[in-house]
Amino acid sequence: MERTLYSQPAIQVLETIFELDCCHLILIRYNSFCACASQVELDVLTGEFSVLSSNIVFDCGYSLNPLIDLGQIHGGFTMGLGLLTSENITYDSDNGRCTSASTWEYKPPQSLDIPVKFDVEMLPSHGNPVGVLSSKATGEPPLACASSPFLALHAAIAAARSDAGLQGWFTLPAPATVDTILQLCGTTPDQLTI
């Protein structure tokens, strides 16, 4: 038996055939593109930050339902934002238990973590020749757009480090938690006195 997903017989170059016990599965690959620009504001005394704006342009082919695609783009971006900035999973080194099993320690994105100005534009008239009704997936690809505020945060930390007289390369680990950001900014205790 042969099963085909997103089948267009005229396009043979993009096909990948998987041999399964029950059947042949043909998957036709395609690319989904998106771009994002973000602006962040960083408090160097606390390590807290906010995403002031994020602008996304997304290629979703011919959208089957623009409102659902818009929701998927917002959701994927927010999920990626949490992944890169706040969702830090920690384990006890003695017994291996998860120590961030509640919202006291584990911080998923919340309403104030979403960009203050959040614009999404779907590219018009860029159909997918191998997709269902020329559509493209919009669930996971926008997650990659969350690298935009993460990299903007990296630039803000670099500026703070320069102001503090710290030079050279630094690594911003993901997730970029508040305490990590504060350490990277070079904030000293004497800056915290009134």
Tokens of 50: 């906010």
Catalytic residue, chosen from 41, 48, 105, 140, is 140
Q: What is the DSSP string of 133-144?
A: GGB---SSGGGG
Which parts of 54-138 fold into alpha helices (H)? 66-85
For the chain, the helix, strand and coil percentages under 3-state DSSP, each to the nearest 5: 30, 20, 45
Task: Clarify whether 2 is annotated catalytic.
Answer: no
93 Cβ contact partners less than 8 Å away, ≥ 6 residues apart: none
163 Cβ contact partners less than 8 Å away, ≥ 6 residues apart: 44
Q: Which residues are catalytic?
A: 140
